[in-house]
Structure 1
Amino acid sequence: MFNPSRDQVRSFFIDTWRKARAKEVLTPMETIATDIIALHPEYHAIVEDPDAIDRDFPPEAGQINPFLHLSLHLAIEEQLSIDQPPGIRAAFDAACKRRGERHDALHDALEALGEMLFEAQRKGTPPDGATYVRSLRRRAGLE
Structure 2
Amino acid sequence: MFTPSQHDVRRFFCEVRRKQRAAELLAPLEALAADWIDQHPEYHAELANADAAVAASYTVEEGRSNPFLHLAMHLSISEQVQIDQPRGIKQAVALLAARRGSLHEAQHEAMECLGEMIWSSQRSGLPPDGEAYIDCIRRRATR
- Considering the TM-score relative to the shorter chain, is it more than 0.5? yes
What code does the residue aligned with 1:11 have? R
Unpaired stretches in structure 2, ≥5 consecutive residues? none
Runs of 4+ in 1 over 2 A off after TM superposition: none
Matched, 1:113 2:114: yes
Q: Which residue in 2 is equivalent to 1:39?
A: 39
Q: Which letter does structure 2 place at the counterpart of 1:25?
A: L
Q: Number of paired residues? A: 142
Q: Give me the CA root mean square deviation.
A: 1.0
SS of the aligned residue for 2:9 comes to helix
Distance (whole Å) between structure 2 residues aligned to residue 61 and residue 18 of structure 1? 27
Percent identical: 49
1:122 positional shift = 1.1
CA distance in 1, matches of 2:37, 2:120: 27
Matches within 5 A, 1:1-143: 1-50=1-50, 51-141=52-142
CA displacement 1:18-61 (0-9 Å, x = unmatched): 00110001100000000011111111110112211110001222
Aligned residue for 2:61, secondary structure, equals helix
Tell me how far apart the structure 1 counterparts of residues 61 and 123 of structure 2 sit (CA, whole Å): 19
AA of the residue aligned to 2:47: V
* Secondary structure, aligned partner of 1:103: helix
* 8 Å Cα contact 2:11-2:53 kept in structure 1: no
Match of 2:17, as an amino acid? W
CA distance in 2, matches of 1:97, 1:106: 12
Contact 2:95–2:138 at 8 Å: present in 1 too?
Answer: yes
